[in-house]
Amino acid sequence: MSDTPKLFCTFRLEGHLFGVDILDVKEVTTETTTTRIAHAPEEVRGLVNIRGHIYLALDLRRLLGMPGTAITGETRLVLFKPTIGQAFGVFVDEISEIHTAMSDRIEAYSATDVLASKLRRVDLISAVCKLPDELLVVLNPRRFLHIVEERLEGNGE
Amino acid sequence: MKNFKLATKMLLLSIVLMASVLVVAYVALDRLTLVNAQIQQLVNSTNAKATQAAEINIQFLASVRSQKNAVISSDDQESKEYATASEASLTQAQELTAQLKQLVSKDAIAGQVDAVDAVDKSLNNVKQINADVLDLALQNTNVKAKRLALSDLQRQTEILSARFSAWVEKTATSTEMNADRTAQWKALYTINNAVSAVQINAIKHNETSIADEMTIQEKTLADLQDTIQQGLAVASGGDAASQIEVRATLTDMQTTLTKVTGLSRLDTNNRSAAMSLVEAKVANDECVKQLAELDKLLKAEAKAGRDTSEAVYQSAVWWIVGVMLAGIILGGVIAYIVTQSVTRPVAEVRNLAQSMAGGDLRQRVQLKQTDEIGELSDATNSLADSLTKIVTEIQRVSEGLGGSAADLTGVSNQLLSQSETASLKSSSVASASEQLSSNISTMAAAAEEMSVNVASISSASEEMSVNVGTISSAAEQTSVNVGVVSNAVGEISNSFTDVLSDVREGSRIAGDASNMADSATATIQTLSQSGTEISKVTETIKMIALQTNLLALNATIEATSAGEAGKGFAVVAHEIKELANQSAKAAEDIARKIEGVQNDTRRAVQVIQSVSQIIKDINASSNRISQSVEKQTRAASMISQNVGEANRGVSEIARSIAEVAKAAGDMSRNVAEAARGATDVSRNVNEAAKAAGGISSDIHQVSAASQSTNRSASQVHDSAERLDQIGKELRKLVGKFKVRKDEASDE
């Protein structure tokens, strides 16, 4: 284990703090205008045009099994790097800060965690980070597109 | 060239270097082969020839030495051996010469063939002479003669000497001395000498080679023999027996001498020696000369060969050095070009990175190459571009923030000045209302006084009414009373005038207060409007702060992705984020304070509206008082008229008594009315006083609210200034990055 602190780009969903590794994030934008894709599953909000590039926008609440919500002034689109998946991003309720956590504060996720009951897809969570006043659930963005794919396959069968 | 990959460049360089090494090696090999050929030539041909020549020389000299030995040697066997050796050596020399001739004719070097031919010829000559010399030397006649002379002749001489000694002893035994004996001695001496001389002359004969001298020696020998023959008889002293023996010995000697002289006459040894010394020497010298000539030629060839080798070696050295120099220069040039093509763009990229680190983002690297460095420079350019984009965005936002802050400052200044105006106005309203209050108080006092006067009028009129029946008895009293009445009426009239003027003053002040209250209301409404505007501005600021926050977040993400290189920028991004958060907080602070201002404003508007209402009430009361007083004034005038009439026509009192009574009744009524009016006035005045007190307290509330507004406005102003400061800081922070081409470089 190295001693370099890990940086997490954190955001809130239903008031809970979630985060992804900052090295996975490409950009955070305020762009929320989406173009719906016909017959797309509910996890897919549609396509977004960011400075001429088209990204697939997913609804992270839906991905995590939470009820959907309307776009507000605080809604942000977190775009991921091409190494995570082909041109996509997720909508979050509210962007929080960049949290720095030493490795001894990060624990690999176990299914008995309190938040587990709220989360439909347990394998989306890669770790839990103990911040001084709350828990930060670290998500694995590489799984996001897989879930959509699985859903599409499920519909096809 | 510059578009090749680094590996290709290195490969090219290596190929060029290897090629030059190969060329150097090839040239060196070629030159070395030349040198080698030269040396081989030297060793195989020249050296062989020289060795051959030396061998010839050695063989020739051995032959000469053997020849000399053969000549000198006295032993036949030995001479023969030497002669054979000499012949063999010469034959060997000739064979060697033949071989040399082959070698020479193969090389075909001018002069050498001739020289070898000469040597061959001289060798043949030498061989011929040598054969002659050896032939002679083998005969060895002189030696044989000498041997005979030394053995046989010696023995015979010794025999003779022994005989002669016997003869001498025989003679010596006889003591007699006579002529015979003397002659005998003489003869003995002579023949003894002759015998000794024979051997000597025989050897001399043998030693000489000159024929004349030989003849002389032969003659001497014959003479000596004759001398011995003649002296014999005398010397023997008559000893016949010994004479016979001597004669036999002499005959032997004669034989021996004949042999010796015969052999000596042949003189082979001397002749061979002479030949060896003269003819053979000439031939030998010739041969030696020819050999020396050949040696000289061979040496010249060797020297030429050495010179050629030296020249070839020198040229090889120059070739190798030249080719090496050419290779080094070529390799150096190519290495320089390759190094340049690598280091120059790298230096440019490094300069760009340094200027980026220094905050100058306008620089770009202009490299038109597609290798790794070209990619690096493109990546650096795009990094600079994205940084420029981010910084430009932040600049734009911070400029917007600055503009908003300036707007906010302007609006808050306006708010401050307006709230100050409102405060000022409410203060003047307060002083006006105080003035109003005091006027009303004065008015109340006047009304009180009026009331008292009216009461006294009332009592007087009642008294007058009582006393009207007893006018006769009280005519003087009437006059007095009328005077009193006249005075009282005058006083009332005065009082009413006072009251009227006070009431008008009060009305005017109330009007002023009303106007001021309206003006204050208008000001406060403007204030409320300014507050709403500020709310809009703070909304904009919040929005900008939000965007800046997002930008800073993205900048942090970019900086973290950049790793170690982005750490500096991450710090800047964090600063910007902090400033954005502070901006948002300041904007919220302002919004909260504006909310307070607006609450205060609403309260002030309410209070001012109630003040306005009260002033209107006071105005109404004042108007009513004014009306009452006017009415009373009219009544008082009437009283005054009546009193004048009373004064003028006491005589008409009787007639007028009814009128007086009626007038008194009227007066009483009027006075009652006046009393009622005075009471009304008093009540109204009190009401007015109460209202004025209410106004005063309200006005104080307004004033307090205005003060509070003023304070809030000051805080807003402070917040706005702080926001402006933050905006400036942000601009300064972002200003460290130079992004536009037209910016002066020292900025």
Nearest to B325 by CA among B317, B12, B15: B317
Report the residue from B546, B547, B554 with minimal CB separation from A27.
B554
B396/chain A closest Cα distance in angstroms = 17
B217-249 tens-digit pLDDT = 888 888 888 888 887 777 776 677 777 878 888
End-to-end CA distance of chain B: 40
State residue A53's pLDDT score: 92
Q: Do B560 and A95 touch (CB under 8 A)?
A: no
B150-163: string of b/e by CB count within 10 Å (b at 16+)? eebbeebbebbeeb
Is the CB of B557 less than 8 angstroms away from the CB of A9?
yes
Select the more confidently predicted residue: B731 or A110: B731
Residues of A with CB below 8 A from B547's CB?
30
The residues of B whose Cβ lies within 8 A of any Cβ of A are 546-547, 550, 553-554, 556-557, 560-561
CB-CB under 8 Å, B556 with A26: no
Eight-class DSSP state of B2:
T
Mutation target vs A (from B557, B564, B578; most A CBs, 10 A cutoff)? B557
Q: Output the 3-class SS for B458-513.
A: HHHHHHHHHHHHHCCCCHHHHHHHHHHHHHHHHHHHHHHHHHHHHHHHHHHHHHHH
- Average pLDDT of the residues in A147-153: 81
Q: What is the ipTM of this complex?
A: 0.81
CA distance A107 to chain B (A): 22
Residues of B in contact with A25 (CB under 8 A): 557
Dmax over CA atoms of chain A, in Å, equals: 47
B389 neighbourhood in chain A, CB within 8 Å: none
In this predicted structure, the answer to whether residue A17 has a pLDDT above a threshold of 60 is: yes
- State the residue for tokens 């009524």: B669
Distance between A91 CA and the closest CA of chain B, angstroms: 15
Banded pLDDT at B746 (limits 50, 70, 90): very low
Cα–Cα distance between B72 and B82 in angstroms, integer? 10
Return the amino acid letter for B116: V
Q: How far A124 CA sits from the closest chain B CA (Å)?
A: 22
Task: Tell me the one-letter amino acid at B250.
Answer: L
Rg (CA), chain B: 88
The H-or-E segment that residue B329 falls in is helix B279-357
Confidence of residue B18 (pLDDT cuts 50, 70, 90): confident
Pick from B546, B547, B557: CB nearest A25? B557
Q: What is the mean pLDDT of chain B?
A: 78
SS3 content of chain B, % helix, strand, coil (to 5): 90, 0, 10
A143: pLDDT strictly greater than 90: no
Residues A11 and A94: beta-carbon distance below 8 Å = yes
The string of pLDDT tens digits covering residues B247-274 is 888 888 888 888 878 877 777 777 777 7
Question: Do residue A27 and residue B561 have CB atoms under 8 angstroms apart?
Answer: no
Give the amino acid at B38.
Q
Q: Please write down the HEC assignment for all residues of B102-168.
A: HHHHHHCCCCHHHHHHHHHHHHHHHHHHHHHHHHHHHHCHHHHHHHHHHHHHHHHHHHHHHHHHHHH
Supply the pLDDT for residue A157: 40
Residue among B390, B553, B576, B578 with most chain A CBs within 10 A, to mutate: B553
Provide, as residue numbers in chain B, all residues whose Cβ is less than 8 Å from the Cβ of A9: 553, 557
Specify the amino acid at residue B538: T
Residue B560 and residue A30: Cβ atoms within 8 Å? no
Higher pLDDT, B236 or B304: B304
Residues of B in contact with A27 (CB under 8 A): 554, 557
Task: Give the pLDDT score at B454.
Answer: 66
Report the residue from A22, A30, A81 with minimal CB separation from B550: A30
Is B170 in contact with B186 (CB distance < 8 Å)? no
Q: Which residue of A has its CA nearest to B562?
A: A23
Provide the pLDDT confidence category of residue A155 given band limits of 50, 70 and 90.
low
Give me the long-range contacts of B273-277 (CB less than 8 A, separation at least 24): B273/B71, B273/B72, B274/B209, B275/B129, B275/B132, B275/B133, B275/B136, B276/B67, B276/B68, B276/B71, B276/B133, B276/B137
Contact across the interface for B547 and A30, Cβ inside 8 Å:
yes
In chain A, whose CA is at the least distance from the CA of B560?
Answer: A23
Q: Which of B607, B565, B277 is nearest to B433 (CA)?
A: B607
Work out the end-to-end distance of chain A between its first and last CA atoms, rounded to an integer number of angstroms.
Answer: 44
Between vectors from CA A85 to CA A80 and to CA A86, what angle results, nearest 5°?
95
Minimum Cα–Cα distance from B574: chain A residue: A98
Contact across the interface for A7 and B554, Cβ inside 8 Å: no
From chain B, pick out residues whose CB is under 8 angstroms from the CB of A28.
Answer: 550, 553-554, 557
User: Do B668 and B412 touch, CB atoms closer than 8 A?
Assistant: no
Q: Choose the closest CB to B560 out of A7, A76, A95.
A: A7
CB neighbour burial string for B433-465, b if at least 16 within 10 angstroms, e if fewer: bbbbbebbbbbbebbebbbebbeebbebbeebe
Q: Please report residues of A whose CB lies closer than 8 A to that of B545.
A: none
pLDDT in tens, B679-690: 766 777 777 677
Query: Which residue, B331, B635, B685, B314, is CA-closest to B493?
Result: B635
Query: A91 - beta bridge partners?
Result: A59, A77
Q: Which of A23, A81, A98 sits opposite B553 (nearest CB)?
A: A98
In terms of Cα–Cα distance, which of B715, B713, B722, B720 is closest to B407? Answer: B720
Q: Distance from B574 to chain A by nearest Cα, in Å?
A: 10
Averaged pLDDT, B573-598: 85
CB contact under 8 A, A30 and B554: no
Please, which pLDDT band fits residue B309 given cuts at 50, 70 and 90? confident
